[in-house]
Amino acid sequence: MDRRNVHFALVLAYHGPGFRGWQFQEGQPTVEGSLRKAAAPLFQGPFRCRAAGRTDAGVHARDQRVLLAGPCEHSADTLAKALNARLCEGIAVLQCREVGPDWDPKSGSFAKSYRYQVWRGPYLPPVLHDRVWWIQGRGALSQTAIEAAAAHLRGEQDYDSFRSAHCQARHARRCIWQLDFRPEETAAILAHPDERCALASFTVTGNAFCQHQVRIMVGTLVEVGLGKREAASIPGILEAKDRQAAGRTAPAQGLTLQRVYFPGEEALSGVPSDARWPGCPWD
Amino acid sequence: MDRRNVHFALVLAYHGPGFRGWQFQEGQPTVEGSLRKAAAPLFQGPFRCRAAGRTDAGVHARDQRVLLAGPCEHSADTLAKALNARLCEGIAVLQCREVGPDWDPKSGSFAKSYRYQVWRGPYLPPVLHDRVWWIQGRGALSQTAIEAAAAHLRGEQDYDSFRSAHCQARHARRCIWQLDFRPEETAAILAHPDERCALASFTVTGNAFCQHQVRIMVGTLVEVGLGKREAASIPGILEAKDRQAAGRTAPAQGLTLQRVYFPGEEALSGVPSDARWPGCPWD
């Protein structure tokens, strides 16, 4: 019997509402817990399971990267099929390949993109249930105001005001290269496209993120888009280094971990080639 | 108190899996049952509830049309708000307006469009769960073969082979003007667009449909796309007037009632202006 120790790199997608987030918690449905349970009979002994990043309860992923490493007789293809057959409906292994022993989904990636979807209107189309933040009301969010505010949130800076009070990171210095707000097509959702309703999404790409950072940035930008807060107030919020200065935490169901970037994918990531930060892959 | 009898035309959207279809069934969660329950306290007496067409259990709608008629003190806007506040998560009233006493969602409409989504690949992305027919495997469905077969299913003809054995319509003569099969964009779904996976949709527009007609047509066309059946076999299936001659019934969760067309919307409907059929609005 071939008892070699194998390292597998997985691309995992999941629909958030079925899980109490990524991280294993005894007796709770979590993504890590479900994956470990599905993988256990496919390894001949203890194995490691490690993700590129934790996601909160209710947050979706279309590109979570996971290392599964341990004694295994299966090929990557067989493992992927067997995992998909054993996983519950809300999770799927999209890719699985064998990697070297040094591959690490967290320290090996140089950037992550998140997408946050918001729906503005007097009602929520059922097809969007569980997938957006429904900002009830009429009248579009101001794209101009949001873009002006977002400009202050890009760059390398201290995001202390934009992280959860429970964030355990040693510091909140992060690089955000992309923070865009764009209207999305609603033709496939609305029978009769209605100007009082709008779907839009934020795309955020950075080297790393503090706990709830994307959700607090989005919550604050939406307040700007609704005219409840000035775009010019953002620099003051950053300077305050105080969670209370920023806006509300946007709800989890609007957020998707969209892509994790590894060296060799610099061009795809949209990270400018002159960007420099600690751990920059082109340094 | 104003006890006038009012007729309201509603545009209703719903997500299928939560309901045992449109039609009221005692003790079962149905769309009609949920709507009646939400509407009851908003009318001052018995009221009528009638849809443009029934949908099966699991089928979605983004544009079901419904008549609510009875003694009511509320304006159309207030009724819509009150209904949305009382309806469960899977249903929403997208529009509500007062209409004349002759308006009827079924006999008053001249065409309906359905959309049927299929996903071909070795796995099902969680975001598509409940929304597509997952045709497990690798290798694309043949668009050429499906188009050749679909050509035989357009026109005014007898669809006896393409209706459920339980269909209660007196005959199966119907007009299908549009039956298209098109690949859809997968960039928002897949982290790394993968040629072995494909999303595609059928769009079907006709004057009326027999029970399960769209689902049996799609089931048969998918068999053609997989090479299990010849495109040239379709005329023989139509001639057989026998349900056993056609393919399987595609599962409900891929189907959406996409739009119901009323006189004045002929140009939008894509129905050719020289089309003629019983009840044609431009006759």
Cross-chain residue pair A192–B11, CB shorter than 8 Å: yes
Min distance A132 CA to chain B CA atoms (Å) = 13
**Nearest residue, CB atoms, A129 vs list B11, B90, B190:** B90
- Could you give the CA distance from residue A69 to residue B81 in angstroms, rounded to a whole number? 54
Residue B269: φ, ψ to 5°: -75, -20
In percent, the amount of chain B with pLDDT more than 90 equals: 84
A192 vs B: CB within 8 A = yes
Cross-chain residue pair A13–B89, CB shorter than 8 Å: no
Residue B160: active-site member: no
B63 vs A: CB within 8 A = yes
Q: How confident is the model at residue B193 (pLDDT cuts 50, 70, 90)?
A: confident
Cross-chain residue pair B192–A95, CB shorter than 8 Å: yes
Cross-chain residue pair A15–B129, CB shorter than 8 Å: yes
- Could you give the CA distance from residue B68 to residue B53 in angstroms, rounded to a whole number? 14
pLDDT of the residue at B283: 58
**B47 pLDDT exceeds 60?**
yes
- Could you give the CA distance from residue A21 to residue B32 in angstroms, rounded to a whole number? 35
Ordered structural domains, chain A, with CATH: 5-99 (3.30.70.580), 111-269 (3.30.70.660)
Contact list in A for residue B194 (CB cut-off 8 A) is 94-95
Contact list in A for residue B17 (CB cut-off 8 A) is none
- Could you give the CA distance from residue A206 to residue A1 in angstroms, rounded to a whole number? 44
The mean of the pLDDT values for chain B is 93
CB atoms within 10 A of CB B226: 17
Q: Which residues of A form the catalytic set?
A: 56
- Catalytic: which of B56, B104, B160, B274? B56
Contact list in B for residue A122 (CB cut-off 8 A) is 80-81, 84
**A212 pLDDT exceeds 70?**
yes
- Could you give the CA distance from residue A211 to residue A167 in angstroms, rounded to a whole number? 5
Min distance B141 CA to chain A CA atoms (Å) = 20
Cross-chain residue pair A93–B123, CB shorter than 8 Å: yes
pLDDT of the residue at A276: 74
Cross-chain residue pair B123–A63, CB shorter than 8 Å: no
**Nearest residue, CB atoms, A190 vs list B14, B93, B94:** B94
- Could you give the CA distance from residue A217 to residue A228 in angstroms, rounded to a whole number? 15
Cross-chain residue pair B191–A129, CB shorter than 8 Å: no
B255: which strand partners?
Answer: B116
Contact list in A for residue B259 (CB cut-off 8 A) is 191
Query: Which residue in B64, B123, B258, B269 has the most chain A C-beta atoms within 10 A of its own C-beta, making it the best mutation to test that interface?
Result: B123
The mean of the pLDDT values for chain A is 93
Q: Average pLDDT for residues A208-237, to the nearest whole number?
A: 97
pLDDT of the residue at A282: 64
CA dihedral in degrees (B84, B90, B94, B98; nearest 10)? Answer: -60
A243-257, A258-272, B260-274, range with greatest mean pLDDT: A243-257
Min distance B236 CA to chain A CA atoms (Å) = 35
pLDDT digits (tens, 9 = 90+) for A80-121: 999 999 999 899 999 999 999 999 999 999 999 999 999 999
Spatial neighbors of B70 by CB under 8 A, at least 6 apart, are B5, B6, B43, B44, B45, B46, B47, B48
CB contact at 8 A, A127 and A189 = yes
pLDDT of the residue at B3: 60
Cross-chain residue pair B94–A123, CB shorter than 8 Å: yes
Sign of CA dihedral B80, B82, B83, B87: positive
**A175 pLDDT exceeds 70?**
yes
pLDDT digits (tens, 9 = 90+) for B204-241: 999 999 999 999 999 999 999 999 999 999 999 999 99
- Could you give the CA distance from residue B79 to residue B125 in angstroms, rounded to a whole number? 38
B97 vs A: CB within 8 A = no
**Nearest residue, CB atoms, B126 vs list A92, A122, A126:** A92
**Nearest residue, CB atoms, A94 vs list B15, B89, B191:** B191
pLDDT digits (tens, 9 = 90+) for A40-62: 999 999 999 999 999 999 999 99
pLDDT digits (tens, 9 = 90+) for B131-166: 999 999 988 899 999 999 999 999 999 999 999 999
Say what the ipTM of the complex is.
Answer: 0.88
Q: Average pLDDT for residues B12-29, to the nearest whole number?
A: 96
**Nearest residue, CB atoms, A125 vs list B92, B122, B192:** B92
Cross-chain residue pair A81–B126, CB shorter than 8 Å: no
Q: How confident is the model at residue B191 (pLDDT cuts 50, 70, 90)?
A: confident
CB contact at 8 A, B39 and B275 = no
Query: Which residue in A123, A130, A190 has the most chain B C-beta atoms within 10 A of its own C-beta, making it the best mutation to test that interface?
Result: A123
**B2 pLDDT exceeds 60?**
no
Query: Which residue in B55, B62, B116 has the most chain A C-beta atoms within 10 A of its own C-beta, making it the best mutation to test that interface?
Result: B62
CB contact at 8 A, B95 and B10 = yes
B279 vs A: CB within 8 A = no
